[in-house]
């Protein structure tokens, strides 16, 4: 399936063929190589193939949509809640240390294909770096990468902050999280 030639079965498959991406495996590698960054509309994963960048949500959602166009129903889009820290994302050590935070419960998207976890967030992303810090995994659909994902994440954080007796309010903590996302984009 991964090495199957993409057929011109929809707008996303057509765009990949225009970009000289010919198999689903090539599509995975192509999207993984794109820069990390938010598209102009975070709810529209199709923009990854137009703007040639994306986040964990948009990159994985667009691949799930390509899989659906191709009839590859063994490709699952997962929402992963994990403990984002300096060990699994070293680039964030400075931000986390500045606020004396050991980790941030973070919502992350990835794919699961025939039991194998695939992370295309950036060229060095690897689910194995996160799996020991996973809090929850939930299968979602591409249209759930915006409001559903944000609400799920924020509700979890509010409960977690309350239960952990954090010195930070939800608003402060979310702002620190946004600083981490900005750091990942730089």
Average pLDDT over residues 10-20: 97
* 159-171: pLDDT as tens digits: 999 999 889 999 9
Sign of torsion, CA 123 11 26 130?
positive
Q: What is the model's pLDDT at position 37? A: 87
Distance (Å) of CA 161 to CA 97, 114, 132, 171, 182: 18, 35, 21, 11, 22
Could you read off the pLDDT of 43-78 as tens digits, one per residue? 999 999 999 999 999 999 999 999 999 999 999 999
Question: For position 1, what pLDDT does the model report?
Answer: 67
Read off the tokens for 171.
């608003």
| E strand or H helix that includes residue 140 | strand 134-140
Query: If you average pLDDT over residues 28-35, what whole number do you get?
Result: 97
């Amino acid at each position: 399936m991964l090495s199957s030639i993409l057929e011109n079965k929809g707008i996303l498959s057509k765009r990949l063929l225009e970009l000289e991406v010919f198999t689903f495996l090539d599509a995975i590698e192509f999207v993984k190589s794109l820069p990390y960054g938010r598209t102009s509309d975070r709810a529209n994963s199709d923009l990854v193939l137009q703007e040639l960048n994306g986040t964990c949500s948009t990159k994985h959602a667009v691949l799930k949509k390509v899989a659906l166009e191709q009839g590859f129903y063994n490709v699952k889009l997962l929402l992963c809640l994990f403990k984002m820290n300096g060990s699994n994302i070293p680039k964030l050590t400075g931000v986390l240390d500045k606020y004396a935070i050991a980790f941030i419960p973070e919502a992350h998207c990835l794919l699961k294909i025939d039991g194998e976890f695939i992370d295309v967030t950036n060229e060095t992303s690897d689910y194995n770096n996160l799996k020991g810090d996973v809090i929850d995994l939930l299968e979602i659909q591409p249209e759930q990468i915006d409001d559903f994902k944000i609400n799920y994440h924020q509700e979890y954080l509010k409960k977690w902050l309350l239960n952990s007796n954090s010195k930070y309010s939800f608003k402060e903590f979310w702002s620190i999280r946004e600083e981490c996302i900005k750091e990942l984009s730089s």
